[in-house]
Structures are given as structure tokens and as C-alpha cells.
A and B are shown apart, each in its own frame.
Chain A
Amino acid sequence: MRIDVKKTYKLFIGGQFPRSESGRSYELFDSKGNFLANPALASRKDLRDAVVAARNISDKWSSATAFNRSQILYRVAEVMEGRKDQFIAEIIAQEGVTKAQALKQVNEAIDLWVWYAGWCDKIASVYGGTNPVSGSFYNFTTPENLGVVASFISDQSSLTSIVHAVAPILAGGNTLVAVAHEDYPLSAITLSEVIATSDVPGGVVNILTGKAKEIAPWVGSHMDIDGVDGSGLDSTTYDALRKDGADNLKRINRFDEVKSPQRILAYMEHKTVWHPIGI
């Protein structure tokens, strides 16, 4: 019998796959209690490195044309499709569901990703517009990216929840640091491998594995994070993060897992521009 080559699950920061700088990892078991992997246990320093990577690429990602971002995100879905078997195997391992259920989830996740990819070049025309002000002025409002967003992935499912936590934030032109749910790191890291082999510039998506509770306070007090999706946090941790986040007035939200353009808009800012009209 051939001896398997086991996979090492590492972090995804700045387009690379480092171990945690802390050297820490944790043991992950499947639904039957068998050892699965030693995912990295991300530290404060890992978070800070990820934020630096996300900030550095923010202008490039947000100033790419919306059509270009849309194509790049669509490409992610294409690569996901090719990795279906791996996603299915990891969902079964992490959740203990049947193969049919895992397949259903992967299909849903890919379709959801495609749905958000298509929003990139529609959001501004649907939710921006011209404003008929009184006076000789041309006045228009357009939604723009917020900046760097941290996203705590919920435990509703091992793959679809990741798409809910990542795709709308990217569609709005933001870069992000996503924190995988402690129980479901495998799907998150596999998705980061998909992203790394798509055309998404390094640093646009960063994925940390570990304990959300440990990372959340460092996210709350980080002055270079502009927004937080706290869907994956318990209420106590979420509330503490909201308090810390008031220091730089981070945009902090939590969502039910619904497919909505409002999830994109939650991490966008409306900019209004005036100019006189005259001869």
C-alpha cells in the first residue's frame, strides 16, 4: 500500500503560505474524533502582517476596473469547480455529512461566488446615481471600497459560510483578512489555494486559521482596519470588538447568511461629487 503524502495546512498572507510566526498549531479532528490536521494557530503578529499585506495592495485592487475585478473573481469560481473533489472530501471530513450533501454545498458555494463576482460592475450603477440638486450643479453619488476589512467566518457550514464572508467584501473592491472558523480551517485553506492560483493579486485575500476569540481583540483595536464582518463571533466577543472598534469608528456588522447586495454595500462608502454647470 502506498503511503499518503499528508497535506500541511498553513496560513495565507500576502499571496504566500507561511506558518504562524508564533510557531503554534492546533489539532483538528474529524466528526468521528480521528486526527485530521495541525492547522496553524494564528497570532497577533500574523494578523498584523496580514493587514499590512491587505493595505499594500488595496489601491491596486480597488482601482482595477470593476469589469476586471469581476472577471478575476469569476476565475476563482472556475478554479473552485476544478477542485470540487478536494472540497467535498474536506467537507465530509469536517462536518461528517454524506457525499451528496457535501456536493450540494460545494455547488451552492460556487454559485454564490459567481453571483457576487457579477456584482462588481453593477453595484455602482444600481446604488449610485445623479442627484437633482437645486442650482447649476452636476452632482453624483457613487459607492466606493471601504479599504481593509476583517471577516470572521461563521460555522453555519464549512465552505458556503466562507463565500458569504469573503465574496461580497471583495466585490466591493476591498481587501480582506478572513479568520476561518476554528472547526473548519481545511476548506478555508483550500479556498486560499484556489485564490492563489487564480488571478487575484497577492494580499487581496488573507486567511488566518486559529481561534477567533483570540484574534478578535487585536482586530478591534487595530487602527488600520476599516471594517469588520463579525458574523462568526459569539455575542460577548462581538460586543467587545465593537467597543474597541469605536476607537477608529470601524464599520462593524453581523449578518444572517443571506445573499444580498446589502452585504456588499455594508463595506462601501458613498462619495458625492459636485461640479458647477456653466458655459
Chain B
Amino acid sequence: MMKFEYAPAPESTAIVDIQSDYNLFIDGKFVPSKGGKRFATMNPANEQVLAKVTQGTAADVDRAVKAATNAYKKTWSKLPGADRGKYLFRIARILQERAREFAVLESMDNGKPIRETRDTDIPLAAAHFFYHAGWADKLEHAGLGANPKAHGVVGQIIPWNFPLLMLAWKIAPALATGNTVVLKPAETTPLTALLFAEVCQQAELPNGVVNIVTGDGATGSALVNHPGIQKIAFTGSTEVGKLIARSVVGTKKALTLELGGKGANIVFEDAPIDETVEGIINGIYFNQGHVCCAGSRLLVQENIKDELIEKLKRRMSMIRVGDPLDKNTDLGAINSKAQLTKIQELAQSGDTEGAERWSPECKLPEKGFWFPPTFFTGVSQSHRIAREEIFGPVLSVITFRTPSEAIEKANNTPYGLSAGIWTDKGSRILWSAQQLKAGVIWANTFNKFDPASPFGGYKESGWGREGGRHGLAAYLKGDM
């Protein structure tokens, strides 16, 4: 049989203009740190240093909080909602206009395929600003009473898996509801947040309304513990989420958390099998599996397991792993060495605990951080790979016999972020959706996101929702 190979189709990097060094964005200007060192952010696909960014210190955080406080008191809280909305509309438009630049930069700094940054991350980020812009002058209709109020200064900490999109999920609702912001991007993916700072300048957003302080966990901790912030929004690991939950005790700081998950993707015997295979692929191999709501546990009804696994193997053999900037790439680089080590360690535990590993043959690039698409069969509920969040392209396959057993297994986790249901039977979809203890349930689809759709978890997957009308509650104080 003749095999047609894809020719390389790399997206040009000429569109991005990366500086060698970045300062902090405080009070509308890029300013040098007070005592902070620089650290490198690299392209995980080739380990080349992209730029040096600043390790924000406690003094920098303090400056940023003061700027945000000042902006809140003097300008932002005095603006009518309609005017706040206009700034957000401007930001949405600029993001759309500069979409390709953001997509390429995100791909370089994060390692995710350009196909995803171009078609998912950046358009959704713009959509979030657009959606929330329209809320800014309608807050009295948000279901929180006639006169809901902003908290004031919000401290926001975001992860590296969807850098600009998570920034949008945080900043858009905060600004629409009248808060000002100090945001810390993830240590390994600060560049699109710094480019976003430029967008704020282009949009002529009043100084101090958005402040961006780069750095690591120490910078984040300084932000969380700063007495000048009234609310914290964090997306990241459950472990750090719990630390933050403890650290706000004894303060009046409000807190919302979007944490980890171990989503069950349940396949019933009557599922449309080809669509289901696509859904499984999208559920776990989208964004290298660096997705808190990933469908990382495949629960398949026993009598169709063999057929499903065969089709899954065939489909996985077509996944193209490699250069994130190549338009044909499906699976990009693992975001960091540390994350790769974690994935390797957990996959190793799958081997030693007796599960069976499978990956398609695929040549991984020599430089950079890579992990092939992988699944384990013979996984039992007690295996670490069935319980712990791997945050990588690793799927654990578990079987069940009855619908009740599927639900029992799906809910047998401290997490409760997402779940998937595959079946042709409508009543079974609704029954399963009712039983599942998860905040987002995808039936006959997976990993769909929209600014109008609330996102967030049950149990140890977090507190509160982001997106939709429900997400506004995180940034407003109601009548009660």
C-alpha cells in the first residue's frame, strides 16, 4: 500500500517579536523589579531559551497591589459599567486582530500545537473578553440581588496549560464586575501574559487596572498573603489549592479554586463507536493531556472493550507527535522537564503495579520534552494511575459491567471536575449525568469550552465556577 507522508508545514515565527528581557507590568508600565533576579523561559520543544523574565519579589507584589488599589479607588470603581464594558470589547478586538501572533507565541512558550492555539486557545480567550464585556452594565441581572458589588483588588494565579486562555478566564470577569487585578502567570509560560500587557496599553486601559507580576511559587505566595487584596482566584493543583484555602483563614479574603481532576469517560455498549474513539482521543490527548478536566480514566463496558481498544489503537497510530509549530501536529511537547519526569514516574508506577502499557510506534524528537500517546489496560481502581492526576497523554482503561458499576467507579475519586458519557440512549445520558458527581459533563462529546458555560468542580476539584452567569458570583458580593 502506498503511504502518503505529510510534508512539513511549519508556521512562521516571524510574526512574533520576543524581547531578550522582560520587566514587570505595574501601573500601566513595564518596570524593573525591586531586587528580583531574571529567569529563563524556554521552548519545551527544543529547549531553546526564548527570553529572560523577572522573578517578582514581595516588594514588587506590594507595588502592584498598591497600583491596583489606587486604580480601583480612583478610576475603575467610578466608571459606569458600560464604559468598563467598552474597554473589554476593545481588548477582545485587539486579541482577535493579533490572534496569529498570540497563537505562535503561545505555541513556542508552552509547546502545544499551533492547531490548538490557533483554533482553541486564542479565539476562546477573545470570546471570554467579548462575553464578559456585555455583562459589565447588566450586573444587577446576574442573580445576586439589585446592587452587587465588586470585591476591590483581586489576586489571580494561573497555570501553564492554557496560559492566555486562563488569563482571560480570570481577568475578563474580574474587570467586567469592577475589580482590578494583580495576575501572576505560570513560571514556565509568562510570555503571552506579558504580550497581553501590551494589549492593555493599546486598549488604553486605565493604569493599574491590570498588573502582571511574573515569578514562581514564592511570588504567588506573596500575592496570596498580601493584606491589600480582597479576593483570590487560583487555578492549579489541588495540593496548592488546599494550602491557599488554609492561608486565607482568619482573613476576609474571598477565594475561588479551579483544581485537579481525574475525569471518567464512560463508554456504554450502545455508544456510536467511531465518534466515541474521536471523543476519547480528544478527551486525553488534547493539549498533551495537560488538562485538568481531561478524560483520563476510560470506563468501558466489558463486552465492547476489545473492539474499542482495537479502534483506539488504530486511531492513536495516526496521531502526529512533533514540532508544535507544524500545522499538522496533533501532540506537541510536554511543557517542562519537571512535568515530563512526573508523567514518566506515574507511568512507571502503572508498569510496576501490573497494568499493561501501550503506545503507538512514534519517533520522538531528540531535543525537548516528549511523551508518546499512551494507554494502560488492566488498570484497577487502586492503581496510582487510576487515582492520581497524571496531567499528561496517559489514559487508564477500566472496565465495567452495569451502568451502576460505571457510576460507582466514576465517582470513586476525591476529584469531581469532569466526566464523559457515550451512549445512543437519551434517558441513559440524563440518568448518568444526574448520578455523576462532576461539575462539567460532556455527553457524546468531550473537552468543549465556552465563555457562556460555567466550568468548575465538585469535591476536591475546587470552589466556585468560571464562565457564564454563575462565574460572575466569584467576583461579586451579593445582597446577603
Q: Is A273 an interface residue (CB 8 A)?
A: yes
Tell me if B445 and A137 are in contact (CB < 8 A): yes
The DSSP consensus for interface residues of chain A is mixed
Taken residue by residue from 443 to 461, chain B's Cβ proximity to chain A (1 for < 8 Å, 0 otherwise) reads as: 1110010101111101110
Q: How large is the interface on B (under 10, 10 to 19, 20 to 34, 35 or more residues)?
A: 35 or more
Which stretch (A44-52, A64-72, A156-164, A263-271) binds chain B? Answer: A263-271
Using a Cβ cutoff of 8 Å, how many contacts connect chains A and B? Answer: 101
Tell me if B444 and A276 are in contact (CB < 8 A): yes
Among B144, B246, B429, B438, contact of A271 (Cβ-Cβ < 8 Å): B438
Which stretch (B190-198, B317-325, B383-391, B464-472) binds chain A? Answer: B464-472
For chain A, the count of residues having a C-beta within 8 Å of the partner chain is: 35
A-B interface, 4 closest residue pairs, ranked by CB to CB distance from nearest = A133-B450, A246-B245, A262-B480, A242-B249
Cα A139 to Cα B453 with chains together (Å) = 7
Q: Is A34 an interface residue (CB 8 A)?
A: no
B438: chain A residues at CB < 8 Å are 271
Q: Is A132 an interface residue (CB 8 A)?
A: yes
Q: Is B169 an interface residue (CB 8 A)?
A: no
Tell me if B458 and A269 are in contact (CB < 8 A): yes
Q: Is A141 an interface residue (CB 8 A)?
A: yes
Among A132, A251, A274, contact of B448 (Cβ-Cβ < 8 Å): A274
Tell me if A132 and B452 are in contact (CB < 8 A): yes
Q: Is B462 an interface residue (CB 8 A)?
A: yes
Question: Which partner residue on chain A sits nearest B426 by CB separation?
Answer: A275
A255: chain B residues at CB < 8 Å are 480
Tell me if B442 and A274 are in contact (CB < 8 A): yes
A134-B450, A260-B480, A263-B480 known; A249+B439 contact, CB < 8 A: no
Q: Is A29 an interface residue (CB 8 A)?
A: no
Tell me if B443 and A275 are in contact (CB < 8 A): yes
A242: chain B residues at CB < 8 Å are 245-246, 249
Among A137, A239, A275, contact of B429 (Cβ-Cβ < 8 Å): A275
Q: Is B241 an interface residue (CB 8 A)?
A: yes
A239: chain B residues at CB < 8 Å are 249-250
Cα A226 to Cα B437 with chains together (Å) = 12
A271-B441, A272-B455 known; A249+B241 contact, CB < 8 A: yes
Cα A135 to Cα B443 with chains together (Å) = 15
Among A248, A260, A272, A275, contact of B439 (Cβ-Cβ < 8 Å): A272
Tell me if A249 and B453 are in contact (CB < 8 A): no
Q: Which of A127, A132, A269 has the most B CB atoms < 10 Å from its CB?
A: A269
Cα A137 to Cα B453 with chains together (Å) = 11
Tell me if A270 and B439 are in contact (CB < 8 A): yes
Question: Which partner residue on chain A sits nearest B450 by CB separation?
Answer: A133
